[in-house]
Amino acid sequence: MGRKYVRKKTKYAGVYYIETTTNGRSDKTFYIRYKDEFYKDKELRIGKQSEGYSVNLCNAKRNEIMHKIKHGEELPKIANNQIKTKLTLNDIAHQYFEYRNVHNSTRSNQNEQYRYDTHLKHLFGNKLIYTISLQDIEKLQADKLKTLAPKTVNHITTLLGTIFNYAITKQLYKGNNPIQNLKKLSIDNKRERFLNRDEIKILMDEVRDNELLYLFCLLSLSTGGRATTIINIQKKHIDLNNRTVTLTDFKNKSTYKGFITTDMATILKEHISTLKTNDNILRINNKPISISQIQKRLKPILDKLFNEGLDVKDAKNRVVIHTFRHSFASNLAIGGTPIYTIQKLMNHRDINMTLRYAKLSPESGRDMVENIMKNIY
């Protein structure tokens, strides 16, 4: 005998569901019941929860049908009676990235494309878009959290949700966005780890023979610029006479000045001598380097030098590329640099972002407390 399905009531009259499975996972299939214009009982299958249908959507559809019957209007078409889209996520993503190329920067597009190719394409790329369920995405979230930081996992699921929204906006998909019911992972952005002067020297000695990594680390640790800022420095941004570099803050959409030392000016003078004015100074095969290329080369070095034995999710203590920016500000504070000067050098719009470094300053009161309590014990 076949399996017997039992229709279960919902909080709305005339809206029912049966418990089913989709791709081995529990699911619900929704139905509505109503009386037609001849007062005969009708039942229509609306769709599955995994396809984006919900109790509220079914109730709205039933109310729409009953309203039209009452006023003698033509009944609306039911989504499951229409031919479902045969577009896969790869099909939608291809159109989405073509759209992005017109409206976003090249760097931003490259980062999003890399994120899709690395984390989403092999899992969902060949699946019809309406078959991707909330349960699938929750499983992706849990699996990625085993090796990636919560913030990175949120970026991945957000990208998937953005692709769904694009499909809905362009009328390529008529279901709901399954991401809307996904609970995002909580993030603790209060990174505590920074490299002290001795650790910076260890790192620079490790990458000294690799000109690309050496320059990236040198510029990052001496300007505090974010990774996207550093890789976008062009020859025209370097002022060797005044020993300054113009930095582009893509987060705050502004530019500001950083400083380079006399030794750095000597190194950069030789490096940029063969470059054209608009050339990026960090290049591979005569092409500007990407964040992923830097990450791929630096991560193993940082893990070997500083992250041994640390959990991959220990964001507070692991050294990553963004630690360079944190190290810049922390060492300025330790050296007694005024907090407002640090704010200017970090290009912080809000002084509260800079005040986190005040506790490291010698003016924090630590030495005063030491003097007060001296010789008391």
- Say yes or no: 30 and 148 in one domain: no
- Say yes or no: 61 and 118 in one domain: no
216, two tokens: 């990236």
Digit-coded pLDDT (tens) for 208-225? 999 999 999 999 999 999
**Number of domains composing the chain:** 3
* Residues contacting 340, CB < 8 A, separation 6+: 351, 354
Query: What is the full DSSP assignment across 166-187?
Result: HHHHTTS--S--GGGGPPPPP-
In a domain, 208, yes or no: yes
pLDDT recorded at residue 4 = 58
- Say yes or no: 206 and 129 in one domain: no
Digit-coded pLDDT (tens) for 38-85? 788 888 888 888 877 889 888 988 988 888 888 777 666 554 444 456
CA atoms 169, 171, 176, 182: torsion sign:
negative
The residue assigned the tokens 């019911």 is 181
- Say yes or no: 259 and 322 in one domain: yes
Q: What is the CATH number of the domain that holds 248?
A: 1.10.443.10
User: For residues 116 and 159, is the Cβ–Cβ distance under 8 A?
Assistant: yes
Q: What is the CATH number of the domain that holds 125?
A: 1.10.150.130
335, two tokens: 């050296």
In a domain, 225, yes or no: yes
Reference 186, options 223, 156, 153; nearest CA is 153
- Say yes or no: 229 and 283 in one domain: yes
The CA distance from 263 to 3, in Å, is: 78
- Say yes or no: 215 and 327 in one domain: yes
Q: Which of 81, 98, 114 is the last residue of a domain?
A: 81
- Cα diameter, the chain: 99
In a domain, 371, yes or no: no
Q: What torsion do the CA atoms of 14, 15, 21, 27 make, to the nearest 10 degrees? A: -170
pLDDT recorded at residue 43 = 87
Q: What is the Cα 183 distance to its own chain's centre?
A: 15
Q: Which of 181, 210, 225 is the last residue of a domain?
A: 181
In a domain, 187, yes or no: no
In a domain, 38, yes or no: yes
Reference 249, options 357, 343, 155; nearest CA is 343
In a domain, 14, yes or no: yes
- Say yes or no: 175 and 320 in one domain: no
In a domain, 152, yes or no: yes
- Say yes or no: 164 and 237 in one domain: no
Q: Which of 181, 207, 228 is the last residue of a domain?
A: 181
- Say yes or no: 17 and 65 in one domain: yes
- Looking only at the bridges linking them, the beta strands covering 238-239 and 8-9 are unpaired
Bridge partner residues of 27 (DSSP) = 20
The CA distance from 101 to 99, in Å, is: 5
- Say yes or no: 344 and 234 in one domain: yes
pLDDT recorded at residue 202 = 97
- Say yes or no: 214 and 72 in one domain: no
Which segments of the chain have a pLDDT < 70?
Answer: 1-5, 74-85, 104-108, 188-191, 363-377
Bridge partner residues of 88 (DSSP) = 128
- Say yes or no: 218 and 310 in one domain: yes
- Looking only at the bridges linking them, the beta strands covering 25-35 and 15-22 are antiparallel
Backbone angles phi, psi at 19, to 5 degrees: -85, 125
Q: What is the strand order of the sheet 254-259 is part of? A: 238-239, 244-249, 254-259
User: For residues 213 and 300, is the Cβ–Cβ distance under 8 A?
Assistant: no
Number of Cβ atoms within 10 Å of the Cβ of 145: 15
Query: What is the full DSSP assignment across 296-337?
Result: HHHHHHHHHHH-TT--TT-TTT---TTHHHHHHHHHHHHTT-
Query: Could you give the percent of the chain with pLDDT greater than 70?
Result: 89
Q: Which domain covers residue 34, as residue numbers?
A: 8-81
pLDDT recorded at residue 131 = 86
Q: What is the Cα 253 distance to its own chain's centre?
A: 18
In a domain, 242, yes or no: yes
